[in-house]
Amino acid sequence: MHTLNTPKELITKLSTLIEKERRAQAMKQNELASCAGIPLPTYKQFIYQQKISLENVFKLLFALKLHDNIAGLLQEKEYNSLDALKNKDTLPKRIRS
């Protein structure tokens, strides 16, 4: 069963994952920031305050060789029927009470 997470919780999980992997690879914070091409204060702000751009998150994931983790985000939805494919771009009708 999936649990619902807030965006803040997901960002916190992501920062924890990145920090654990950095330690597992025996890298210092400044080494990872340099390898990812981001300033050290930006990395520290991400770890301690969970604030970072999406581009910098990707840079960190690539620097740690964790880019496979984002493959699921980039998959397009598959459609099981022709009707579903036809209706993929239509907006739902308004529901009136």
Sketch out the chain's domains with CATH numbers.
7-68 (1.10.260.40)
For 48, the enclosing helix (H) or strand (E) is helix 40-49
Percent of the chain with pLDDT over 70: 67
For 54, the enclosing helix (H) or strand (E) is helix 54-63
- Alpha-carbon separation of residue 36 from 31, 32, 61, 72 (angstroms): 9, 6, 8, 22
- The rounded distance, in Å, linking the Cα atoms of 61 and 15 is 10
For 25-38, write each residue's pLDDT tens digit: 999 999 999 999 99
Tokens read off for 32: 């990872």
For 47-68, write each residue's pLDDT tens digit: 999 999 999 999 999 999 988 8
For 5-30, write each residue's pLDDT tens digit: 888 888 999 999 999 999 999 999 99
